[in-house]
Amino acid sequence: MLRRIGTTGLLVIALTACGGGGGSAGTDPTGGRAAPPARMAQSTPPATPAQRTPGAPSPVQRALSGMSVEEKVGQLFMPVLYGTTAATVSGENQARYAAGTPAKVVAKYHLGGVILFPQNVKSVGQVVGLTNGLQRGSKKVPLLIGTDQENGLVSRMSALMTDFPGASQIGATKDTGLARAVAKATGEELRALGVNLDFAPVADVNVNPRNPVIGRRAYGDDPQRVAKMVSAAVKGFADAKIAATAKHFPGHGDTSVDSHTGLPVIKHTKAEWERIDAPPFKAAIAAGVDAVMSAHIVFPKLDPSGDPATLSKPILTGLLREKLGFKGVISTDALNMAGARKKYDDGEIAVRAVLAGADLLLMPNDLPKAYKAVLAAVKSGRISRERLDQSVTRLLTLKQNRGLLAGAPVASAERAAGVLRSAAHRKLAARAGG
């Protein structure tokens, strides 16, 4: 999706989780994240129940019990930060967050995660230094460091990574083994850079040729084929030990309005949703997807309130949690998009997203306001302590499942140089048509 992330003379309009049509890989269709150690530290695998002392708290329980309310609220947020090192002093960070460097923003808001954009990417060694520095800035709980590396049109790390083809090109091959292999290779390259969460794969079924925001980012227009490809991609990311995100629930495929600039309305009936939109998300959940991203779309037959799915409890909790049985992390799409900001201010949007069932609040337009609003809602009881703990537990569980609670991962520039654009990955890209 397009996310407007610049002020003070710098306007960067970047394709992000929801993305945007047009443009070339690694570019925006409108024009416009200490030296690394020599080796990659190997995270200790999470302890299995059999390995734990009977009755002893789990790593997730220990982490949760050691957090203040302010720290718990901070875990929900994943903003974009400015600078190419964790210690880079930026007027943008100061203006937006009243903290000069990325590391200081992480510490000030007790952030659970950070999302990287092309502005944060200069070289392999620089990105490794950035991700390591960000992790050092998070004193208690390691960060989720995410990006949108769908390949094809939306490729944040294209300056450094293998140029794999996008989903539509892979979907046309009907080769699920290829989809899994490309996702695995993509995940391996991201992990080598210190990124542990990818906002991919796209699980939308692109049934509207006039769709300005999904298009070639989808695996195709056949629900069953898309479902098989999405399932394979989720498994590929898991093979690489990186978290995957299926997006954009409940399905962004049949719209002619871009949710970056407007609020699309999907007119599918419940039966049509079951037949067209639901299969890829069901397949992703069955494959063990770590997260599902909401869409800023109105779906009147699923929720007549007029609120976008991101703010809809009937959709996020009633449909995704209860009907489909998803137990992982629900992420919002970027909260600075027009589709999320039609009816409420930036603080109320964040509160309503949590009440709807979201766990990860991605790129709020005004982080200080959103953070204060959620914290105030918790202290007033509007958001119960139990509800807050549910979201933080899911986020911590994702981190535990990916080895993060055992210790912050440490990326290595030397190792990354051997993984990124390796001969094997370039050969795979050629086989995929890249």
Distance CA 203, CA 219 (A): 8
As given in the structure block, the two tokens for residue 320 are: 């995704």
Catalytic position from the list 110, 248, 252, 260: 260
As given in the structure block, the two tokens for residue 161 are: 């990574």
425 or 54, greater pLDDT: 425
Does the annotation mark 110 as catalytic?
no
124 pLDDT above the threshold of 60: yes
173 pLDDT above the threshold of 70: yes
143 pLDDT above the threshold of 90: yes
Q: What share of the chain in percent tops pLDDT 70?
A: 86
Q: What is the pLDDT of residue 86?
A: 98
Average model confidence (pLDDT) for the chain?
A: 88
As given in the structure block, the two tokens for residue 298 are: 């109105």
Instruction: Report the CATH number of the 66-432 domain.
Output: 3.20.20.300
Q: What is the pLDDT of residue 358?
A: 98
pTM of the complete model: 0.88
Q: How do residues 242-277 score in pLDDT, each as one tens digit? A: 999 999 999 998 876 666 667 788 999 999 999 999
415 pLDDT above the threshold of 60: yes
Q: How do residues 64-86 score in pLDDT, each as one tens digit? A: 999 999 999 999 999 999 999 99
**Average pLDDT for 7-16:** 35
Reported as a pLDDT band with limits 50, 70 and 90, residue 51 is low
**Average pLDDT for 209-222:** 88
Taking a C-beta distance cutoff of 8 angstroms, is the pair 109, 20 a contact?
no
- How many C-beta atoms lie closer than 10 Å to residue 95's C-beta? 11
Taking a C-beta distance cutoff of 8 angstroms, is the pair 224, 283 a contact?
no
Residue with tokens 């520095």: 133
**Average pLDDT for 127-156:** 97
Q: SS3 letters for the chain?
A: CEEECCCCCCCCEEECCCCCCCCCCCCCCCCCCCCCCCCCCCCCCCCCHHHCCCCCCCHHHHHHHCCCHHHHHHHCEECECCCCCCCCCCHHHHHHHCCCCHHHHHHHHCCCEEECCHHHCCCHHHHHHHHHHHHHHCCCCCCEEEECEEECCEECCCCCCCCCCCHHHHHHHCCHHHHHHHHHHHHHHHHHHCCCEECCCECCCCCCCCCCCCHHHCCCCCHHHHHHHHHHHHHHHHHCCCEEEEEEECCCCCCCCCCCCCCCECCCCHHHHHHHHHHHHHHHHHCCCCEEEECCCECCCCCCCCCCHHHCHHHHHHHHHHHCCCCCEEECCCCCCHHHCCCCCHHHHHHHHHHHCCCEEECCCCHHHHHHHHHHHHHHCCCCHHHHHHHHHHHHHHHHHCCCCCCCCCCCHHHHHHHCCCHHHHHHHHHHCC
Q: How do residues 416-426 score in pLDDT, each as one tens digit? A: 999 999 999 99
Give the least confident one: 27-31, 52-56, 368-372, 379-383: 27-31
Q: How do residues 337-386 score in pLDDT, each as one tens digit? A: 988 898 899 999 999 999 999 999 999 999 999 999 999 999 999 999 99
**Residue 252, preceding bond cis, omega within 30 degrees?**
no
Does the annotation mark 260 as catalytic?
yes
Reported as a pLDDT band with limits 50, 70 and 90, residue 213 is confident
Reported as a pLDDT band with limits 50, 70 and 90, residue 209 is confident
Catalytic position from the list 148, 303, 333, 366: 333
